[in-house]
Amino acid sequence: MEKTVFKGSFTQQEPIPEAAIEAAVEVMRSGRLHRYNLAPGEAGEVALLEEEFAAFTGANYCLAVASGGYAMSCALRAMGVGHGDKVLSNGFTLAPVPGAIASVGADPVFVETTEALTIDIDDLALKAETSGARVLLLSHMRGHICDMARLMSVCDAAGIDVVEDCAHTMGAEWDGVPSGRHGRVGCYSTQTYKHINSGEGGLIVSDDAELMARAIILSGSYMLYPRHTARPPVDTFENVKLTTPNVSGRMDHLRASILRVQLADLAAQVDRWNALYRTVEEGLRNTPGLKIVERDPRERIVGSSIQFLLPGFSPGEIGAVVEACRLRGVELKWFGAEEPVAFTSRYDSWRYAPAQRLPRTDAILAGLMDMRLPLTFSVSDAGLIAEIIRDEVQSVHRHAAE
C-alpha cells in the first residue's frame, strides 16, 4: 500500500497582512525610515509599536531593536554584565542565547534541563550558590515555561537578576502573568519564525527606569531619547547618557509598521497555533516508543512548534525515523545529533563557552525531536503529520524489538 505524503512546507510563513503592507508602503513613500527621522508632531511607527507592546505585556517601558539577540545582549550590558562575569543560562537553548552572553565578554554557566524541557530549578539553585553569577539569562526554549514562582523565589534568595528570553513565548503566560514579566527584563524576537514577523527585530520590556534608560542609550539614541514615548522620565537619562556607549541596534519604521498590525492580531494567531499543537499532540499520544512532553496547566502556551521524546532509541533508529518522515514530507529536527544542523545545536557545540558537562540534559537531548507548526498548515494537515510520525515511529520501534 502506498504511503501518504504530506505536501506542505515547514518553512513557509503566512503572507504579511495587507494592512501591514499598506502601512509599510506609506513609510517607504515618506522616505523617513530611521526611527528619529520624524515630521513635526509625529510619534513615528517605532515609538507607537513600543507603546503598544508595553501595553500588551503590561510593562512600564519598551524598546524596539534590531534583533532578539541584540535585545538580550543590550539587556545584559544595561545591567552591567561584562568581561569575565558568569551568567547562568539553560543547557537546552539555541545559539543566540549563549551568544548574547559571550558578546559582552561574559561566560555562560549552563544549567540542567528537565524532561518538561524547562530549566532544572534544583540545579539552578546549586549553581546560583557556587558559580558566582549574579544574572540568569532564562530561555523559555521552544515555548516551555518553568514554574516561574519557584524560579523567582530561588533567584531572589540568591540575589540573581533574571533576564527572560521570550523569543518563543510572545503571547504566552505563566499562571496568568505574560511571559517576560516575571524577571527584571523581558526580551523578544520578531524574526521570521517567531510569533510576529519582520524578518529580523526584537523588543525589550522592563519596569526598571535606569536600566531602560541605559538600554535606550546603548541602542543608539544619541541625545534623541526624548522622542521615545514608552521610556522612563527624561531626568532618568541624566545619570547614564554620558557614560553609556552607543552600540547601535535600533529598529526602523518599516519593520515597526509591519509589526504593529500583526501585534493587534496576535491573540487570534495564538489560538490558531494552539489548535495545530493540540491536534498533533493528541495524534501522537500513546504511540509505542514515543513520549509526549506534557504541559503544565498553569502555562498558556503558544504552540508554534512541538517537541516529543524517543527515549531508548539509538542514534541509528532516530536517524531512520527522521529520514522516513522526510521521505513522507515531514521535517523533524533532532537535538541529539553530534554535529550542529541548521538552527539546531547543543551546548557542547558552543566552544566559545567554558567546557561543561550536563549529563541529564545530554540524556534528554539524545532522544529529543522538534518540529515547526507554521500557520500555513490547517488542522487537517496537523492530523496527517501526526499520523505520518506515528506510523514511522511505530515501524522503527517494532523492527528494533524484533
Structural domain includes residue 8: no
Whether the pLDDT of residue 168 is over 70: the answer is: yes
Cα–Cα distance, 147 to 129 (Å, whole number): 20
Cα–Cα distance, 172 to 188 (Å, whole number): 12
Going from the C-alpha of 288 to that of each of 315, 367, 387, 391, the distances in angstroms are 17, 14, 13, 10
Q: How many helices (H) and strands (E) does the chain have?
A: 12, 14
273 in the same domain as 255: no
230 in the same domain as 325: no
Mean pLDDT of 294-316: 97
* Nearest CA-CA partner of 78 in 53, 61, 96: 61
Q: Specify the pLDDT at position 352.
A: 93
Which run of H or of E encompasses 105? none
Contact 168, 143 (CB under 8 A): yes
289 in the same domain as 242: no
- Single residue among 201, 236, 264 that ends a domain in this structure: 264
Q: Specify the pLDDT at position 402.
A: 67
Q: How far is CA 148 from the centre of its chain?
A: 16
The 10 Å Cβ neighbour count of residue 8 is: 16
Structural domain includes residue 165: yes
Number of domains in the chain: 2
Domain residues for 40? 18-264
- Single residue among 243, 264, 285 that ends a domain in this structure: 264
Structural domain includes residue 167: yes
CATH number at 358 reads 3.90.1150.10
Cα–Cα distance, 162 to 180 (Å, whole number): 10
Structural domain includes residue 11: no
**Averaged confidence pLDDT in the chain:** 96
162 in the same domain as 210: yes
| Model confidence band, residue 342 (pLDDT cutoffs 50, 70, 90) | confident
CATH number at 250 reads 3.40.640.10
Cα–Cα distance, 125 to 123 (Å, whole number): 5
Q: Order of strands across the sheet with 333-334?
A: 291-292, 305-309, 368-372, 333-334
- Single residue among 264, 283, 317 that ends a domain in this structure: 264
Cα–Cα distance, 377 to 375 (Å, whole number): 5
Contact 216, 281 (CB under 8 A): no
> Strands 161-165 and 185-189, how do they pair?
parallel
152 in the same domain as 101: yes
Cα–Cα distance, 20 to 35 (Å, whole number): 17
> Which cell numbers in the block locate residue 87?
551568567
Q: What confidence tens digit (pLDDT) does each residue in 345-390 have?
A: 889 999 999 999 999 999 999 999 999 999 999 999 999 999 999 9
Mean pLDDT of 248-276: 98
Q: What confidence tens digit (pLDDT) does each residue in 197-234 have?
A: 999 999 999 999 999 999 999 999 999 999 999 999 99
Structural domain includes residue 2: no
- Residues paired with residue 107 on neighbouring β-strands, in sequence order: 86
Length of the chain: 402
